[in-house]
Amino acid sequence: MKPQGHHLAELNVGRLIAPTDDPRVADFMNALDRVNGLGKRMPGFVWMMEGSGEPGTGNTENAIGGDPQFVANLTVWETVETLENFVWNTVHRQFYERRQEWFEVLGEMHFVMWWVPEGHQPTLDEALERLDHLRTHGDSDHAFGWAHLKEATHWRDRACGVAAE
């Protein structure tokens, strides 16, 4: 349940199957500005970690562990419902459903959410700590996936399931 005075932060990480300028990931890279731009215009959107701002780069310059193929998306939303609406009821879903074309299977959790005080913009390091906590301890109020949120409903019907949150 949403704590009063808080927003929902989410981190999604992935490792591209090829460098960002490789034709194998071109459809993904070419859609970043469109999908991120849509997200920023959605009701309930609060903030997004940005890269350089260069067209077609999205947040891909925020590489993890010095690996340029390891990319991260970090956003903040007013509520669970507003994030769910963007993820499952917009063009974002089409790209989510094609993720296996562009991303390696990581074999561990690569998505985490947590509550942040209104106005807080989490850092990538903070978000990665939350992801590590989720991987180590499972769902808790400190770090969680969709299943931890009673108000989250779309992911149950439209996602790939709990194992690949």
pLDDT of residue 65: 83
Per-residue pLDDT, averaged over 57-85, amounts to 84
**Percentage with pLDDT > 70 across the chain:** 85
Q: Which helix (H) or strand (E) holds 25?
A: none
Per-residue pLDDT, averaged over 17-39, amounts to 93
pTM of the model: 0.87
Check if CATH label 3.90.180.10 holds for domain 6-164.
no
Q: Which helix (H) or strand (E) holds 41?
A: helix 26-41
Instruction: Quote the CA–CA distance of 151 and 78 in Å, as a whole number.
Output: 13
pLDDT of residue 161: 43
pLDDT of residue 7: 98
Ordered by start, the domain boundaries in the chain are 6-164
